[in-house]
Amino acid sequence: MGPRSGFDAFRALADRRGRPGVRLLDALTEAAGSGHGPAAAWAPDVAGRFGLPAAAGLGPATFYADLAAPHGRRHVRVCTAAACFAAAAGRHIGEVEETLGVGVDQVSADGEVSLQGVRCLGYCYAGPACLDGDTPCTGPALAAQLSGRALPHAPPIPATDVTGAPVVLAGVVEGQDAWQVWPDVLRAGAPERVLREVAASGLRGRGGAGFPVAAKWAAAGRSPGTVVVANGDEGDPGSYADRLLMEADPGRVLEGLALACFACGGRRGVVLVRSEYPRALATMRTAVEQARADGHLGRRVHGTDVDLDIEVAEGSGSYVAGEETALVAGLEGGRGCARPRPPYPTQHGLWDAPTVVNNVETLAAIPWIVRHGGTAYAGRGTPSETGTKLVCLSERFARPGCYEVEIGTPVGRIVEELGGGLREGADLAVVQVGGPLGGFLAADRLDVPLTEADLAARGAALGHAGLVAFDRRVAPEEVLRHVWEFAAAESCGACSPCRVGSRRGLEIVRAGQPGAEYERLLRVMGEASLCAFGRRVPAAVRSLVHAFGDRLAGWDR
C-alpha cells in the first residue's frame, strides 16, 4: 500500500528540523499569484502561519523571480533567453509589451495584466515563446496569439534517435514501456548490481558538471536516510531535453530515480520541476500517482522489505537554484543560493541527510544501463566519455529538435546534417554550446567532437548540450550584452565576485568601453566566485569574443 500522501516522508523529515520546507514556498507562490502587491505586504503573514519570523518569508519571496515579480489577474511570462533572442533578434519583447500594454516585470495600473521576463520556457525549437498563464504561445505570430487574433500555437518537441539503439529516447521514439527493469531488480535484492553496472558504464552526469554517477552514489555511503533528487530544473537556455523526457516519458525518469534510490540505500526521492514547465509538472505528478497505483512505490514495494516514497516539487524561478547546493537550500524553503563546499550534499544535504542530485536525462539512462549492462553502454561514445547524449537544436536551424547522438559526434555534423544548417539559407555566425555559461564556436570552427574535453579545449563546454544558432542579423555587441544581462539577472548574490562582477561587467559592456578594469573583473570572477556560475562567465564571454574575431575587436581581454 502506498503512503497516505506523497509527501509524508519529507514532511516528517522537515518537521524534525522545525521547518516546513517546500510547503513554505508553495504557500508563498500562492500568495504571490494573488496580486496583493510587493512581497513585504504578504510574505511576513505567510511565514507567520508556519510559526516562522518575517525574514523566513521575505528571504525567498524577494529572491525567486516567480515570487518577486508583480502579478496581475492575467500573468504572462515572455522568454528573453538566448534561443528566443536569436529567433527574433530580441524584437518580440517590445511587440509583446505593446500588445499587452505593460512593460516587462511590471503590472498594469488596474492590476489586470502583468508581464514577467523569464530565461527559457523550453520552446527553444519554436521560439520566440510566452506562457499566457499556463498556455504556451510560440512563433513569429506571438503578439497575435496573445491578443486573441490567432490561436495559441505550441508544436510538440521533434525527437529523433540517430544512434540506431536509443537509450534515453527508447520510450519517446520507439514506444518502449517504462518500469520493465525495476520489479526484477528489486525482487533480486541486489542494489550492488545497479551500482556495479552504472560504474561499468562510465556514465557521467548530463546536467553540466559531468561528474561520474557511480562515484557520487558511492559517496553517500548507502545511508538509509539518503535522499535522491531528480533535478528537472533545466535552466540552460537552449536545452529542452529534460522537458521532453518529463512530459513524454515520465515513467522512465521515475524508474531511473527508483533504481538510484535503491542503489544508494535511500527511501526518499524528489523530482524538482522548474515552474516554467507547467505541463511537465502535471505529468510528473500524475506519473507518480500511477506508479503508486501500480505498486512501484509505497510500502513494501513488490512484496519486498523496501519502502520508497517519491514526491514532485515545483521550482520558483531561478537559474542558479539548479546548482545542487542551491537546489538543496530551495527544497528546505530558503533562498536558492550556492553554498561553500565541502561539505558536499552527499554528506550533508537536504536537512543534513546525505543527498544525491542527478539530472533528469542522467536518471533516464539508468534503466537501459541496468537492463543491457554497463559494458554495452561503455562501448558507445568514446573510450574516455561513454554513451549517448541528447542534443537540442534551436529555432534558427532548418530542422530544430532533440536528437540522441553518440558522445563524440562532430558538432559540424550535428549542425549541417542533422540540423540542416540554418533555415531560409541564413548565414551562421556563431553557435552557443551548452547554455549561457557554456561557450561559443565560430561557424568555421565546428570541427570538434561533442565531448567535455574537446569542447573545453575550444573554450566551450558540453553542459546540457543545447545548440543555439545566431545568424548574422544579430550584432556581436548585442550577443555580448545579452550574455552579461543573463549573468547579472541570475547571479544568486551569495559571493561578491559574481554579484558585483556580473553587474559591473554589464555596465562596462553597455558603455562600450573595455579596459583594465574589465580585464581585472574577468580574472577575479573566474578565480574567486563561489560556484561554477560566476567562474564560467569569463570563459563564456572570452569564447564569444574569440568566435566573432575582429567583429568584437577590443573585447579580447
SS (H, E, C) 441-461: EECCCCCCECCHHHHHHCCCC
Looking at residue 10, its pLDDT comes to 55
Q: What's the pLDDT tens digit per position in 173-194?
A: 999 999 999 999 999 988 999 9
Q: Average of pLDDT values for 238-256? A: 97
**CB-facing half-sphere around the CA of 56: CA atoms within 13 A:** 20
Domains and CATH numbers, the chain: 74-147 (3.40.30.10), 160-378 (3.40.50.11540), 388-471 (3.10.20.600), 476-552 (1.20.1440)
Beta bridge partners of 312: 271
Looking at residue 556, its pLDDT comes to 67
Looking at residue 353, its pLDDT comes to 92
Q: Where are the beta strands (DSSP E) in 294-345?
A: 309-314
CA distance 108 to 112: 6
Residue 37 has pLDDT above 90, yes or no: no
Looking at residue 12, its pLDDT comes to 57
3-state secondary structure 364-433: HHHHHHHHHCHHHHHCCECCCCECEEEEEECCCECCCEEEEEECCCEHHHHHHHHCCCEHHHCCEEEEEE
Q: Which runs of consecutive H residues, i.e. helices, occur in 294-359?
A: 324-331
Q: pLDDT-based confidence at 4, cuts 50/70/90?
A: very low
Looking at residue 137, its pLDDT comes to 98
Q: Average of pLDDT values for 39-55? A: 92
Q: pLDDT-based confidence at 459, cuts 50/70/90?
A: confident
Q: What's the pLDDT tens digit per position in 490-507?
A: 898 889 999 999 999 999
Looking at residue 378, its pLDDT comes to 98
Distances (CA, A) of 479 to 25, 411, 438, 503, 510: 34, 21, 14, 16, 12
DSSP per residue, 217-240: HHHTTT-TT-EEEEEE---STT--
CA distance 276 to 436: 17
Looking at residue 338, its pLDDT comes to 85
The region of weakest confidence among 311-325, 388-402, 484-498 is 311-325
Looking at residue 1, its pLDDT comes to 32
Q: What's the pLDDT tens digit per position in 80-114?
A: 999 999 998 899 999 999 999 999 999 999 999 99
Q: Which of 282, 238, 261, 13 minimizes the C-alpha distance to 127?
A: 238
Looking at residue 307, its pLDDT comes to 94
Looking at residue 6, its pLDDT comes to 46
Q: Average of pLDDT values for 331-335? A: 91
- Ranked by mean pLDDT, the top range of 144-148, 317-321, 337-341 is 144-148
DSSP character for 42? T
> What percent of the chain is modeled with pLDDT above 70?
96
Cell numbers 545579452 correspond to 482
**CB-facing half-sphere around the CA of 62: CA atoms within 13 A:** 14
C-alpha dihedral sign at 181, 185, 188, 194: positive
Q: What's the pLDDT tens digit per position in 119-128?
A: 999 999 999 9
